Amino acid sequence: MGAIAEIFREYGPRYLETFGEKIPAQHRKVIEAIIACRTEACGISVYGCGQCEQATVVFRSCGNRHCPTCQNHKTRQWLEKQLDRVLPGHHFMVTFTVPEQLRRFMRSHQKTAYATLFAVSSSALKKLSADDEFVGGDTPGFFGVLHTWGRRLDYHPHIHYIIPGGAFDKKSGHWHSSRPDFYVPVAALSKIFKAKFRVEMIKAGLYNQINPVVWTLDWNVNCQAVGSSEGSLKYLAPYVFKVAITDSRIVKVENNRVVFRYKKQKSSRWRTTSLEVMEFIRRYLQHVLPTGFMKIRYYGFMGSGSSVTLDDVRAAIELSLDVFIAGHPVRKQERTSAYCPHCGGKLEYWYSISPYELWQPG
């Protein structure tokens, strides 16, 4: 059982009792899911050993995307899929961050604000990459991942995009490569990003709820050359399905406080800080996403509706680089087997029992 699950099981009921009706329904569901995960409340699965025929009972997981216990396998699956889609050539990671003065508004209007953040940042990227002065080509391709947390569980919404260094031109079928060290100017990107967000807030009727200071500030956009996409994918993968904090960062829970580790920006040294346990739970829950909201989105030739395939793009890049990557072999998926705790034989799935069936009399 993980440290975060232990915190929720010990203190979650008190949090529910203390704040009662003030707790959003989605937050209540997450608390209940984490408490129930890997217990009889989620049901059991029974596996049998083909050698000694002993049964092994496993408590089922809750499957909630904000549960720290349930996300590791999803991260591995996503990374393997993306590594099968890697393109040759240089790549960039572009990060869009909103001013601190906008964060309180975004936390109160999450569904609209997050969707707008994706829409305007991706639109700004498409607009500038289409300019012949920078990249050219009418079809870039990239994907973005929304994060909402900082290193100490504070609220800090931002999007990371991974972008191949160039764009595909549908008319000519050619690849327009960017410079290896430069994609588009971040100052111009920041201005377009801010202007488009402002327009969308006016359309949504939310403009007057935003601190006017926001529009006088420079919005932070960072563009970093990351070389091959494989390295950047491996860097980003742990953050894709990860929750706001992992069990490995929890140092201890004592005297009604949670002590955890963190690193300052541009530092490799671990530091520790602590939060009162109710505040720790509150900060954890502020990163729960709206129901059904997709935190990973794909655009351009990486989008599911694109008329340009990845094979088209790969061929165009290979031609522009004067290289050929034969066959682009698909990676073999490693399948791990569960083994019998009694004799070491391989376990086979037998059957499952739902929570409803577990609690039926007789």
Express each pLDDT in 47-101 by its tens digit.
999 889 899 888 888 888 888 887 666 777 777 788 878 888 889 999 999 999 9
- Is residue 52 a part of any domain in this protein? no
Q: Determine which of 22-31, 103-112, 286-295, 312-321 has the lowest per-residue pLDDT on average.
A: 312-321
pLDDT value at 15 more than 60: yes
- Is residue 113 a part of any domain in this protein? yes
355 — pLDDT class (breaks 50, 70, 90) = confident
Q: Which pTM was predicted? A: 0.86
When pLDDT is averaged across residues 268-292 and rounded to a whole number, the result is 95
pLDDT tens digit string along 224-254? 998 876 776 776 676 676 778 888 999 999 9
- Is residue 183 a part of any domain in this protein? yes
Domain count for the chain: 1
When pLDDT is averaged across residues 291-301 and rounded to a whole number, the result is 93
pLDDT at residue 239, as a whole number = 65
- Is residue 111 a part of any domain in this protein? yes
Domain that holds residue 126: 71-244+290-321
Q: Measured on CA atoms in the order 297, 299, 301, 303, is the torsion positive or negative?
A: positive
What single letter denotes the amino acid at residue 262? Y
- Is residue 267 a part of any domain in this protein? no
Those residues with Cβ within 8 angstroms of residue 160's Cβ, 6 or more apart along the chain or in another chain: 93, 94, 95, 144, 145, 147, 236, 239
Joined together, the tokens standing for residue 220 give 């932070």
CA distance 362 to 353: 14
When pLDDT is averaged across residues 296-313 and rounded to a whole number, the result is 92
- Is residue 39 a part of any domain in this protein? no
When pLDDT is averaged across residues 246-270 and rounded to a whole number, the result is 92
Gyration radius of the chain's alpha carbons: 24
pLDDT at residue 351, as a whole number = 86
CA distance 275 to 252: 11
CA distance 263 to 151: 7
- Is residue 251 a part of any domain in this protein? no
- Is residue 188 a part of any domain in this protein? yes
